[in-house]
A and B are shown apart, each in its own frame.
Chain A
Amino acid sequence: MELLSGAEMVVRALRDEGVKFIYGYPGGALLHIYDAIFTQDDVEHILVRHEQAATHMADAYARATGKAGVALVTSGPGATNAVTGIATAYMDSIPMIVITGQVMSHLIGEDAFQETDMIGVSRPIVKHSFSVQRPEDIPEIIKKAFHIAESGRPGPVVVDIPKDMTTPTDRYEYEYPKSVKMRSYNPISKGHSGQIKKAVDMLLAAKRPVIYSGGGVIMGDASDELIALAKELGCPVTNTLMGLGGFPGTDPQFIGMLGMHGSYEANMAMHHSDMILAVGARFDDRVTNGTDKFCPTAKIVHIDIDPASISKTIKADVPIVGPAQAVLKEMLEQLQAAKTKPSAESLKTWWEQIEEWRGRHGGRYKTDDSKQMKPQQVIEMLSKVTNGDAYVCSDVGQHQMFAAQYYKFNKPNRWINSGGLGTMGFGLPAAMGVKLNFPEEEVVCVTGEGSIQMNIQELSTISQYGIPVKVICLNNQSLGMVRQWQDMNYESRHSQSYMQSLPDFVKLVESYGHVGIKVERYEDLEGAMREAFAMKDRMVFMDIAVDPFEHVYPMQVPRGSMRDMWLSKTERT
Chain B
Amino acid sequence: MRHIISVLMENEPGALSRVVGLFSQRNFNIESLTVAPTEDETLSRLTVTTIGDDRVVEQITKQLNKLIDIVKVVDLTEGDHLERELMMIKMKANNGTVRAEIKRTTDIFRGTIIDVTPNTFTVQLVGASSKLDAFIEALGTSNIMEVVRSGVSGIARGEKVLSV
Contact = CB atoms under 8 A, between A and B. Distances in A.
A123 B18 CA distance: 7
Contacts of B164: 183
B14 A184 contact: no
Interface stretch (B55-63, B92-100, B148-156): B55-63
Interface string A54-92: 000000000000000000000000000000000000000
Nearest to A119: B14
A127 B68 contact: yes
Given A131-B14, A184-B10, A123 B21 contact: yes
A518 interface: no
A527 interface: no
A184 to B, nearest CB: 4
Interface in A306-356: 306-308, 311-312, 315
A182 interface: yes
Interface string B1-22: 0000000011001100110010
A315 B59 CA distance: 12
Given A124-B21, A124-B25, A131-B13, A308 B66 contact: yes
Nearest to A120: B17
A153 B67 CA distance: 12
B71 A184 contact: yes
B132 interface: no
Contacts of B13: 131, 133
A94 B102 CA distance: 61
A332 to B, nearest CB: 28
A206 interface: no
Given A123-B21, A124-B25, A184-B10, A312 B69 contact: no
Contacts of B63: 308
A131 B70 CA distance: 17
B21 A148 contact: no
A278 B70 CA distance: 28
Interface string B56-92: 0011001101101111000000000000000000000
Interface in A134-172: 148, 153
Given A123-B17, A124-B21, A306 B66 contact: yes
A182 B69 CA distance: 9
A317 to B, nearest CB: 15
Q: How large is the interface on A (under 10, 10 to 19, 20 to 34, 35 or more residues)?
A: 20 to 34
Interface residues of B, number: 20
Contact of A308 (B9, B17, B59, B68): B59
Contacts of A311: 55, 58
B68 A128 contact: yes
B68 A184 contact: yes
Interface in A109-131: 119-120, 123-124, 127-129, 131
Nearest to A153: B66
Interface of B (DSSP majority class): helix
Contacts of A185: 68
> Max chain A CB contacts within 10 Å: which of B21, B66, B68?
B68
B71 A183 contact: yes
Nearest to B21: A123
Given A119-B14, A308-B63, A184 B69 contact: yes
Contacts of B9: 184
Contacts of A183: 71, 164
A371 to B, nearest CB: 50
Contacts of B66: 153, 306, 308
> Max chain A CB contacts within 10 Å: which of B13, B55, B66?
B66
A153 B63 CA distance: 13
Nearest to B26: A124
B71 A312 contact: no
Contacts of A129: 14
A260 to B, nearest CB: 23
Contacts of A123: 17-18, 21
A308 B58 CA distance: 8
A184 B8 CA distance: 10
> Max chain B CB contacts within 10 Å: which of A127, A153, A308, A311?
A308
Contacts of B25: 124
Given A124-B25, A184-B10, A311-B58, A148 B68 contact: yes
Interface of B: 9-10, 13-14, 17-18, 21, 25, 55, 58-59, 62-63, 65-66, 68-71, 164
22 contacts: A119-B14, A120-B17, A123-B17, A124-B21, A131-B13, A131-B14, A133-B13, A148-B68, A153-B66, A182-B68, A183-B71, A184-B9, A184-B10, A184-B68, A184-B69, A307-B65, A308-B62, A308-B63, A308-B65, A308-B66, A311-B55, A315-B55
Given A123-B17, A131-B13, 17 more contacts: A123-B18, A123-B21, A124-B25, A133-B13, A148-B68, A183-B71, A184-B9, A184-B68, A184-B69, A184-B71, A306-B66, A307-B62, A308-B65, A308-B66, A311-B55, A311-B58, A315-B55
Return the 10 tightest CB-CB contacts between A and B, nearest first: A308-B62, A128-B68, A184-B71, A124-B25, A307-B62, A123-B21, A185-B68, A308-B63, A184-B10, A119-B14
